[in-house]
């Protein structure tokens, strides 16, 4: 049973927020898949092409994350409906806010550590093969090794948080039937 307040026009995200959410979701899924696949490939033109695509997409996530954060600061997300807040245990409210906060942090940390790793390895990042981005760390193999590990751990953490986020949305939709997921889906109010 859906709570009427969960699907009212004031409870929904804006179309811009929805578009940024779903675009980032698609890019992140692609990035993670390519990232896991490419690391075990032998050195080849295909591997280099995938690494370049991964870097381009990572910088795009960084840009989208900035736009998304600025949009969120300018146009606050709709509050959870009161009926839903009352039905949620305190740990779920904490998990809801904590997961979103950590995901936003990782939207920046993962691509920045990847960019820094590339710079420390001596490989300049060319966004879409055209726009040379500045190296903001010195070339250093020891630093590159640490950044590679950081990038991988943070990316796995982001992937885990995304899975938790998706599982929670599906639980709200199919188990609770509270309309929470409809707030991020386009359609009629």
- Tens digit of pLDDT for each residue in 41-79? 999 999 999 999 999 999 999 999 999 999 999 999 988
Which CATH number goes with the domain that contains 65? 1.20.950
| Residue 133, in any domain of the structure | yes
> How many domains, the chain?
1
Q: Report the pLDDT value the prediction gives residue 189, as an integer from 0 to 100.
A: 54
| Residue 28, in any domain of the structure | yes
Compare 45 and 4 and report the one with higher pLDDT. 45
Range of the domain at 61: 4-184
| Contact between residue 108 and residue 65 where contact means Cβ atoms under 8 Å apart | yes
| Residue 62, in any domain of the structure | yes
| Residue 160, in any domain of the structure | yes
Distances (CA, A) of 187 to 15, 45, 64, 70, 73: 10, 43, 23, 24, 24
| Contact between residue 169 and residue 181 where contact means Cβ atoms under 8 Å apart | yes
Residues 6 or more apart from 184 whose CB is under 8 A from it? Answer: 13, 17, 18, 21, 22, 169
Q: Report the pLDDT value the prediction gives residue 83, as an integer from 0 to 100.
A: 80
Q: Report the pLDDT value the prediction gives residue 85, as an integer from 0 to 100.
A: 83
Q: What is the pLDDT of residues 6-32, one digit of tens each?
A: 444 447 899 999 999 999 999 999 999
Q: Report the pLDDT value the prediction gives residue 181, as an integer from 0 to 100.
A: 87
Distances (CA, A) of 6 to 1, 12, 84, 179, 184: 11, 8, 8, 5, 11
Query: Measured between alpha carbons, how far is 13 from 185 in angstroms, rounded to an integer?
Result: 8
Q: What is the pLDDT of residues 81-90, one digit of tens each?
A: 888 888 889 9
| Residue 121, in any domain of the structure | yes
Q: What is the pLDDT of residues 113-143, one digit of tens each?
A: 999 999 999 999 999 989 999 999 999 999 9
| Residue 112, in any domain of the structure | yes
Q: What is the pLDDT of residues 147-182, one digit of tens each?
A: 999 999 999 999 999 999 999 999 988 998 888 888
Task: Inform me whether the pLDDT recorded for 3 exceeds 70.
Answer: no
| Residue 139, in any domain of the structure | yes
Q: pLDDT band for position 35 (50/70/90)? A: very high
| Residue 189, in any domain of the structure | no
Using DSSP's 3-state secondary structure scheme, residue 91 falls into: helix
């Amino acid at each position: 049973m859906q709570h009427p307040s969960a699907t009212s026009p004031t409870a929904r995200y804006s179309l811009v927020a929805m578009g940024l959410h779903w675009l980032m979701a698609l890019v992140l899924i692609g990035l993670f898949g390519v990232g896991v696949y490419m690391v075990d490939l032998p050195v080849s033109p295909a591997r280099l092409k995938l690494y370049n695509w991964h870097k381009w997409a990572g910088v795009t996530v960084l840009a989208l994350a900035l736009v998304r954060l600025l949009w969120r600061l300018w146009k606050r997300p709709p509050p959870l409906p009161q009926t839903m807040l009352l039905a949620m245990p305190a740990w779920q409210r904490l998990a809801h806010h904590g997961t979103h906060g950590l995901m936003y942090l990782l939207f920046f940390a993962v691509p920045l550590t990847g960019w820094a790793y590339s710079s420390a390895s001596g490989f300049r990042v060319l966004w879409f093969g055209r726009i040379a981005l500045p190296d903001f760390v010195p070339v250093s193999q020891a630093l590159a090794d640490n950044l590679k590990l950081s990038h991988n751990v943070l990316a796995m953490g982001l992937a885990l948080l995304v899975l938790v986020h998706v599982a929670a949305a599906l639980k709200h939709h199919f188990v609770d039937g509270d309309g929470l997921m409809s707030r991020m889906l386009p359609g009629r109010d």
